[in-house]
Chains A and B, each alone.
Chain A
Amino acid sequence: MKTFVRQFLRQSLWTLLALPALARADYSWNFPEPVTPIARDTLKIHNEFMLIITALFVVVFAIMIYSMVKHRKSTGHQPAKFTGPKGGLQWFWALLPFAILLFIDFVLMGIPAVHAIIEMEDTKTKADMVLKVTGMQWKWQYEYPESGVKFVSTMSTPREQISNAAAKGENYLLEVDNPVVLPVGKKVRVLLTSTDVIHTWWVPQFGVKRDAIPGFLRETWVQIEKPGTYRGQCAELCGKDHGFMPVVVHAVPEPEYLAWLDKKKAEAAAAAGSGDRTWSKDELMAKGKEVYDKQCVSCHQANGQGIPNAFPALAGSPLCNSEWQTKDGKLIKDSHVDRVLHGKANTAMQAFKNTLSDVELAAVITFERNNFGNTMGDMVQPAQIKALR
């Protein structure tokens, strides 16, 4: 049946459509190559099950088609009158399929399935390291708790490619600015949570898909067997840009991983240090634009106009054009800074103090107050943000 399907699809492929994309024809018919024990197991189970159900399908419908050919009125077949099994032999033949099905369900499919579940859920034993994954609209934050490294990973495909204004790159929609790096051969315990709605972390080649649920911690594990770049996507509808929050994992040998980790640590230290000095307005504006284009643009748009009735405009917004602290330096509730730091409950506006550094926050707020026609003219310094933490 499968070859039939294959042929059928190929045929319609070449005859129905003359898409230029077809020339590439690198479509696949099954799971992508597995690179973890779980994924290998899953692929094996999947292949076996597909064989089983294909066999069931063929047998059952062969009988039906035989009947449709043989027992037709046009060939003068006289209808029988039976309405159920009669006698031991008939009962035997009637019950046999169910015995077989029982065996298939609970033994042939059931036993490997139970083993796979137990393996899949074994997140706690012999874990070499922990990776914490936090889903947020619409990006992933990765944290290495043991070494304190933490960063946000956003899709890096330019919007022009999505709107067809530019040619699409090879990894269209499946590329990010900061990929997660993991060592090959280590058992990584992956902890998942979310800051807003439910997301699902999925890398097909790992055979792993687990929800990231706000307010709860869920876990799974991966042990990557082969160096490479593995790509996946968020799998739970999480709002507007659900289709645009890819997962990219670089699996590298351990020494390389450790070197990368050191580099990240150094970067973090440098960033923390830069928060202590006073920044000039130009510096803040430049940095602010950079942050805005990554973190804010998907909702509030490049021109700061937002999307009517869904995401408010920043251009001319009262929030961006009013004081954010009282005379004696207290944070005003529901002011610009308060909103960016703490978000707004039950909306896509998240509490950015969890994901952005003092510098980034100060910069992006300054940028928003002095752009899109907003002319507050003031500056927010990283140190001020730090004091509010």
Chain B
Amino acid sequence: MSVATTHPGEHHEHHPSGILRWLTTTNHKDIGTMYLTFALIMFFVGGIMILAVRAELFQPGLQLMQPEFFNQLIGVHALVMIFAALMPAATGFANWMLPLMIGAPDMALPRLNNWGFWLLPPAAILLTLPFTLALFGIGDGAIATGWTFYAPLSVQGGIGVDFAIFAVHILGVSSIMGSINIIVTIFNLRAPGMTMMKLPLFAWGWLITAFLLIATIPVLAGAVTMLLTDRHFGTHFFNAAGGGDPILFQHLFWFFGHPEVYILLLPVWGLMPHVLSTFSRKPTYGYTAQVYSFIAIGVLSVIVWAHHFFTVGMPVPALIYFMFSTMSISLPLAVLFFCWIATMWRGAMSFETPMLFALGFIVLFGMAGLTGLVLADVAADAQYHHSYFVVAHFHYALFAGGIMGVMTGVYYWLPKWTGHMYSETLGKWHFWLTVVSFNLTFMPQFFLGLAGMPRRIPDYALQFAEFNAISTVGAFILGFSQLLFAYNIWRCVKGGEKAKDQVWESAEGLEWQLPSPPPYHSWETQPEIK
């Protein structure tokens, strides 16, 4: 029942071909594809870095690298994964899907959109260039402070810090442009009849993300600018000797950093109900409750930041406030879990790859949420903080929550994007290998943290050897399994079984009314929602 109205004949396509097409395109689908491709490449870049780290940590002693280089790898790994893999992947989803889902002909500001993407590659280059420059004897390598830039360590650092500061600025500008575009597109270009409370949940998730980005990226940009002036222009924002305060940096950083977690996850939470409802053949449970939970999480996320540095020493009332505000996030989050499971309840489930990833996501992200709840406890956090327990926790959130969520979306929409079905067999292999090796990698890290292993150390005491060895084996399986993912996508782009317009038998939403793949210009005639 394709109602798509495209007029390839009447509509004269002027877009250039070859590289110029991609450089100059203002088409949301092209830009979405570029974002997603970029994210996939950077996912492997960040992955290779951390596999080097895991190899170093396979056994006690320094085998492969010096501590300086180790410190650079962990920080750049995180910056790449967060800013250049996960965020662009989510933006890629938004670009591809939002116009299709809300019945808009394109994003509202197509040229801004193009610019937003093309800022990313230079930023990624800035971030990683210091590694290369060091090979030629320029500077001492990339930023070695971890991804958190904590002053005064970052004031002390080499040119890698300056490069990272500029990279973050550019990435921030790109995110803000993307966010503005998404907000105005949702507000202004919805199909007639699509009220806000009929908006697909994916769009709602992204809308809150966009507002969070707009509220917090400027603070991050401000913080790193202050860092830059402390480094080069004699200011003392973070230097006690000049009347500044190093902890101010942590406040500013985490005012951005905590919402950032939700920025990474909200688009995925928005996507989940679509997938669960499709494969349970049952409408979404608790649409309104989910919308309000998104909003509540968005609001709460900007008032809990100090739980990331309880150990700096704070007044007791502040500790108690930040503990309870953090714990209260568990309520809207529980609403989401409830709605996800209630959506499946008494449905007619089938377990194609996207559904497998969605279920894997729910279980593993559940572990992230539950360990997060105990991390909020100040006294217990005194043990967990800066230990491998935290590393495990946030990988359950960011890898199992973020990356596996993105994989859910990729498998769910890939047939729509390419017009071909991916290989279900390979998809299932990819899922099971990922889930098993993910747990093999990160479950031992919980125990390492409890036993007292600090994070960000290139070498460790002998009692940590066994778990580290297991974790490294897991990480390598995890890393290599992702090649299956890339190969499956590649195959699907190249060809394969034709996908139906409706791809999944009971998928709901405007996007499924368009052909697979959708024409270059879709919804030139807007659909009407009743």
Q: Which residues B286-326 have CB closer than 8 A to chain A?
A: 286-289, 309, 311-313, 316, 319-320, 323-324
Distance (Å) between the CB of A207 and the closest chain B CB?
6
Chain B CB within 8 A of A227 CB: no
Q: Determine whether B426 belongs to the interface, using a CB cutoff of 8 Å to chain A.
A: no
The CA-CA distance from A164 to B370 in the complex, in Å, is: 40
B345 contacts partner chain A, Cβ-Cβ < 8 Å: yes
B366 interface residue, CB < 8 Å from A?
yes
Query: With an 8 A cutoff between CB atoms, is A214 at the interface?
Result: yes
A125 sits at the interface (CB 8 A): no
Contacts of B323-377 to chain A: CB distance below 8 A: 323-324, 327-328, 330-331, 334-335, 337-338, 341-342, 344-351, 359, 362-363, 366-367, 370-371, 373-374, 377
Interface presence of A264 (CB below 8 A): no
For the complex, give the distance between the alpha carbons of A161 and B460 in Å. 12
Contact residues in A for B139 (Cβ distance below 8 Å): 309
Contact of A214 among B140, B152, B319 (CB under 8 A): B152
Q: How many residues of B contact A (CB 8 A)?
A: 106
Q: How far, in whole Å, are A109 and B409 apart by their CA atoms in the complex?
A: 36
What is the predominant secondary structure among interface residues of chain B facing chain A? helix
Q: Which of B136-169 contact A (CB under 8 A)?
A: 137-140, 144-146, 150, 152-153, 155-156, 158
- B283–A110 touching, CB < 8 Å: no
A89, CB-defined interface residue at 8 Å: no
In the bound complex, residues from chain A placing their C-beta under 8 Å from that of B450 are: 28-31
Nearest CB in chain B: distance from A197 CB, A: 4
Give chain B interface residues in 209-246, CB to chain A under 8 Å. 231, 239-241, 245-246
* Contact A209 B311, beta carbon cutoff 8 Å: yes
| Pairwise interchain contact B465-A117, C-beta atoms closer than 8 A | no
What residues of chain A lie closer than 8 Å to B452, measured between beta carbons? Answer: 31-32, 202, 204, 232-233
The chain B residue with its CB closest to the CB of A171 is B461
In the assembled complex, the Cα of A310 lies from the Cα of B142 at a distance in Å of: 12
Q: Is the CB of B140 within 8 A of A168?
A: no
Q: B251 at the A/B interface (Cβ < 8 Å)? A: no
Which residues of B have CB within 8 Å of A218? 312-313
- Chain A residues lying within 8 Å of B312, measured Cβ to Cβ, are 211, 213, 218
Contact assessment for B68 and A307 in the assembled complex, using a CB-CB cutoff below 8 Å: yes
Q: Are A72 and B348 in contact (CB under 8 A)?
A: yes
104-154 of chain B: CB within 8 A of chain A: 134, 137-140, 144-146, 150, 152-153
Nearest chain B CB to A59 CB, angstrom units: 11
By a CB distance below 8 angstroms, the chain B residues around A197 are 150, 152-153, 156
Residue of B nearest to A80 (CB): B346
Listed residue (B341, B346, B380) with the most chain A CB atoms within 10 angstroms of its CB: B380
| Measured CA separation A117–B318 after assembly (Å) | 11
> Are B378 and A120 in contact (CB-based, < 8 A)?
yes
Q: Name the one of A120, A236, A240 contacting B379, with C-beta atoms under 8 angstroms.
A: A120
CB nearest to B327 among chain A residues: A105
Q: Do the beta carbons of A64 and B459 come within 8 Å of each other?
A: no
Inter-subunit contact B379/A31 (CB<8 Å) = no
Chain B residues with CB under 8 Å of A334's CB are none
Which residue of chain A is the closest to B242 with respect to CB atoms? A215
Tell me which residues across on chain A come within 8 A of B144, comparing CB atoms.
239-240
Asked if B350 and A73 sit within 8 Å, CB to CB, the answer is yes
B150, A71: Cβ atoms closer than 8 Å? no
Output the residue of B311, B344, B379 with the most chain A CB within 10 A: B379
Q: Tell me whether A22 and B466 are in contact (CB under 8 A).
A: yes
Binds B, one of A13-21, A139-147, A366-374: A13-21
Does A78 touch B at the CB level, under 8 Å?
A: yes
Residues of A within 8 A of B473 (CB): 12, 16-17
Tell me if A379 is interfacial: C-beta within 8 Å of chain B. no
- Interface hits, B421-459 → A, CB 8 Å: 440, 443-444, 447, 450-452, 454, 456-459
Q: Given the complex, which residues of A lie within 8 Å of B285, measured CB to CB?
A: 82-84
Q: Are B320 and A114 in contact (CB under 8 A)?
A: yes
Q: Is the CB of B386 within 8 A of A118?
A: no
Quick check: is B190 within 8 A (CB to CB) of the other chain? no
Q: In the complex the two chains form, is B348's CB within 8 Å of A83's CB? A: no
Is the Cβ of A105 less than 8 Å from the Cβ of B311? no
Q: With A5-B443, A73-B281, A106-B324 in contact, is A196–B287 under 8 Å at CB?
A: no
Chain A, residue nearest B349 (CB): A72
For residues 19 through 41 of chain A, which have their beta carbon under 8 Å from a beta carbon of chain B? 19, 21-22, 24-32, 38, 41
CA distance A82 to B282 in the complex (A): 8
Contact assessment for A214 and B246 in the assembled complex, using a CB-CB cutoff below 8 Å: yes
A297 interface contact, C-beta 8 A: no
User: Quick check: A207 and B383 within 8 Å, CB to CB?
Assistant: yes
Contact for B386 among A106, A171, A235, CB less than 8 A = A235
- Which of B8-16, B59-67, B495-503 faces chain A? B59-67
Q: Is B493 an interface residue (CB 8 A)?
A: no
| Residue B25, interface by CB 8 Å | no
CB <8 Å contact, A346 and B378 = no
Q: Looking at the complex, which one of B156, B379, B469 makes contact with A113 (CB distance below 8 Å)?
A: B379
Q: Check A326 for interface membership: any CB of B closer than 8 A.
A: no
Q: Known: A80-B282, A237-B146. Contact between A26 and B463, CB under 8 A? A: yes
Cβ–Cβ < 8 Å partners of B387 in chain A: 235
- Whether a CB of chain A sits under 8 angstroms from the CB of B382 is yes
Across-interface contacts of A286 in B (CB, < 8 A): none
CB of A364 within 8 Å of the partner chain: no
A79→B313 contact, CB < 8 A: no
19 contacts between A and B (CB under 8 A): A17-B473, A24-B462, A30-B450, A60-B366, A79-B282, A84-B287, A98-B331, A105-B324, A116-B379, A162-B459, A168-B61, A170-B462, A198-B152, A213-B246, A213-B247, A240-B144, A241-B67, A242-B71, A243-B67
Instruction: Show the binding face of B for A, using Cβ within 8 Å.
Output: 59-63, 67-68, 71, 134, 137-140, 144-146, 150, 152-153, 155-156, 158, 231, 239-241, 245-247, 280-289, 309, 311-313, 316, 319-320, 323-324, 327-328, 330-331, 334-335, 337-338, 341-342, 344-351, 359, 362-363, 366-367, 370-371, 373-374, 377-380, 382-383, 385-387, 440, 443-444, 447, 450-452, 454, 456-463, 465-467, 469-470, 473
- Sample of 6 further A-B pairs with CB below 8 A, known A9-B470, A106-B324: A31-B450, A53-B374, A57-B366, A73-B348, A105-B373, A243-B460
